[in-house]
Structure 1
Amino acid sequence: MPEPADDLAALLAAGPLVLDGGLGTLLEAHGHDLRSELWSARLLVEQPAAVRAAHAEFVAAGAQVLTTASYQVSYAGLGAAGFTDAEVDRMLRRSVTVAREAAGDAAVLVAASVGPYGAARADGSEYSGAYGLSVDELREWHRRRLRVLAEAGADLLAIETIPSPAEVEALCAELAEIGMPAWVSVSGASTGFTPESRTEALAAAAATPGVIAVGVNCCPPGDVLPALADLDVDVALLAYPNSGERWDAVVRQWRGDGGLDDALVESWLDAGVRLVGGCCRTTPADIARVAHLVDARPAGA
């Protein structure tokens, strides 16, 4: 029988799949205060129905892949807020369950989100990777969360917004031992990469067993093609930038104007991107436009 990674690779070879958009910022738009260090993880505990409803909006907009609300869920971050490791395990599993429930009977994949070490710190270091930790230390920090999510019933792992070569190396070393399908997406806006080191890190990720796609997220839309330009890999490409607005970690607010441009989305698809959607501040309306563009393309294009 084909391995799950082979099945997903075949699905991507048939044509692009539409990702969802900014889950946390959609929840904020619904009136939820996510300014605490736990971000949307708090709602998994207090109001999982709100998370489910936000996921469902993206399904209705045409998303074919839902990314779970586990990006910010970590043992260190939640432990500081008084949660036990067992409670964090349950929260990680709940993130997958809630997304699966939101998908309902729709043909939608669930990708379990794995954010970087810096996301748990909530201090902006997820955009630099300047942690002062070794690859082995990062492997240990990520290990339990990866394994719990791998066993929680998701279709694949979404390794996302990774800001440095060291953290990519650490996560890929763990993925190689887990054997579950995954994508690896680096932060296109991180100062922790040079253009050369980003290309090298993504190429190494693409060679990791189980990795079905590599690319960039959480960057201005105009940065997507330059980030992928020199990448020559045998797996699918992915792109899900933010709206173009800039996150100010000091005051915890978004600044500037944003929006996904149809011509840019078309250019990513023309360049071979097979997983396409949005990150922070992209809305169900944005994803509906992306879905329309994907649907309008010839089969297999």
Structure 2
Amino acid sequence: MRDLRAALSDGPLLLDGGMGTLLESRGNDVSGNLWSARLLRDDPDEVRRAHEEFVAAGADILITTSYQVGFGIQLADDEVELLLQNSVAVARDAGARFVAASVGPYGAVRADGSEYTGDYGLSRTELRDWHRRRLEALASSGADALAIETVPCLTEVEALCAEVAELGATAWVSLSASSTGWRPGELADAFAVIAATPGMVAAGVNCCAPEAVAGALALVPPGLPGLAYPNSGERWDAQARRWEGDAGIPTDGAQEWIASGARIVGGCCRTTPADITRLAAMLGR
């Protein structure tokens, strides 16, 4: 494991982009409930090659393809354990400077859209119980940090942070700024919980429109590095069934995020290695 916290103190680090987007563009089917994790099981070399594209584009940090892998829902426990460990090994083999083990919200594993609402009907204690085994497995996998991402509600933030504190892990938490699960003021409350949790190296937002980033970063408490990896600037037109608008991460926006305290910047859904290359050029890489 490498010291991600120390690297962040030296300056911004570049994250990768949308793995599902890249794998699909390479001709793979990622439409099932396991999303890109299916390829981790069936064709790990293809996952490694996709990771390598992001490294070649300039990414300092790779996020593993474990986002939708969890115990007790889709797969046998021994297969889940193996996939979690392999997700880190495959990313490491791609030559990444840092590897962050993806921990998606409970709703991501259910694959029913509740990751965007936080509407689970579970208590904080129940969420702690459900997340515990996966967090333990990924914390022992050799990853440099846990990438706890797309968290849609305060209750799940509290549950995850309590588990990270008990585990003594290094982690970041990224909130889903587009979730309908946030009541007024709760984004700030969530960032305060994250900042008070030992082992946290950064906090911010992902899987949201680029224009939602700046306002969210303004809520991150001073002293805690920010992170931002939004979706591309496109919007899905459900009636026309097509993406519209300008694709990519706005480099002027990314410069603003860094000026506001972001130390990890990259992309989420529908962002590509080309987007990461542009961000790397902005950073003078």
Q: TM-score, normalised by structure 2?
A: 0.94
Asked if structure 2 preserves the Cα contact closer than 8 Å seen for 1:206 and 1:233, the reply is: no
Matched, 1:174 2:163: yes
**Is there any run of 5+ residues in structure 1 with no aligned partner, and where?**
297-301
Of 97, 106, 118 in structure 2, the residue corresponding to residue 117 of structure 1 is 106
Per-residue CA deviations over 1:176-198 (Å, capped at 9, x if unaligned) read: 01112100000011111135101
1:246 CA drift (Å): 4.4
Taking a change above 3 Å as real, the CA distance of residues 256 and 122 of structure 1, as seen in their structure-2 partners, is farther
Matched, 1:45 2:41: yes
Taking a change above 3 Å as real, the CA distance of residues 245 and 187 of structure 1, as seen in their structure-2 partners, is same
Of 139, 151, 156 in structure 2, the residue corresponding to residue 162 of structure 1 is 151
1:102 paired residue number: 94
Taking a change above 3 Å as real, the CA distance of residues 246 and 116 of structure 1, as seen in their structure-2 partners, is farther
1:274 CA drift (Å): 0.3
Of 55, 68, 73 in structure 1, the residue corresponding to residue 64 of structure 2 is 68
2:225 paired residue number: 236
1:12 CA drift (Å): 0.8
1:26 paired residue number: 22
1:54 paired residue number: 50
**Equivalent residue letter for 1:120:** V
1:88 paired residue number: 80
Per-residue CA deviations over 1:149-187 (Å, capped at 9, x if unaligned) read: 110111110000000000000000000011121000000
Asked if structure 1 preserves the Cα contact closer than 8 Å seen for 2:236 and 2:244, the reply is: no
Q: Give the alignment of 1:108-257 within 5 angstroms.
A: 108-246=97-235, 255-257=243-245
Q: Which moved more, 1:254-263 or 1:149-158?
A: 254-263
1:268 paired residue number: 257
**What is the alpha-carbon root mean square deviation over aligned residues?**
1.8
Asked if structure 2 preserves the Cα contact closer than 8 Å seen for 1:9 and 1:236, the reply is: no
Distance 2:168 2:236 in 1: 34
Taking a change above 3 Å as real, the CA distance of residues 191 and 44 of structure 1, as seen in their structure-2 partners, is same
Per-residue CA deviations over 1:35-55 (Å, capped at 9, x if unaligned) read: 111111111111111110110
Asked if structure 2 preserves the Cα contact closer than 8 Å seen for 1:245 and 1:254, the reply is: no
Asked if structure 2 preserves the Cα contact closer than 8 Å seen for 1:38 and 1:77, the reply is: no
Identity %: 58
SS of alignment partner, residue 147 of structure 2 = strand
**Equivalent residue letter for 1:58:** F
Per-residue CA deviations over 1:137-156 (Å, capped at 9, x if unaligned) read: 11111111110011011111
SS of alignment partner, residue 190 of structure 2 = helix
Distance 1:263 1:189 in 2: 21
SS of alignment partner, residue 92 of structure 1 = helix
**Equivalent residue letter for 2:133:** R
Give the paired residue count.
283
Asked if structure 1 preserves the Cα contact closer than 8 Å seen for 2:62 and 2:100, the reply is: yes
1:8 paired residue number: 4
Distance 2:137 2:234 in 1: 33
Distance 1:171 1:148 in 2: 14
Q: Structure 1 segments of 4 or more deviating over 6 A? A: none
Distance 1:154 1:176 in 2: 17
**Equivalent residue letter for 2:262:** V
**Equivalent residue letter for 1:168:** V
Q: TM-score, normalised by structure 1?
A: 0.90
Asked if structure 2 preserves the Cα contact closer than 8 Å seen for 1:112 and 1:154, the reply is: yes
Distance 2:118 2:232 in 1: 22
Distance 2:18 2:146 in 1: 17
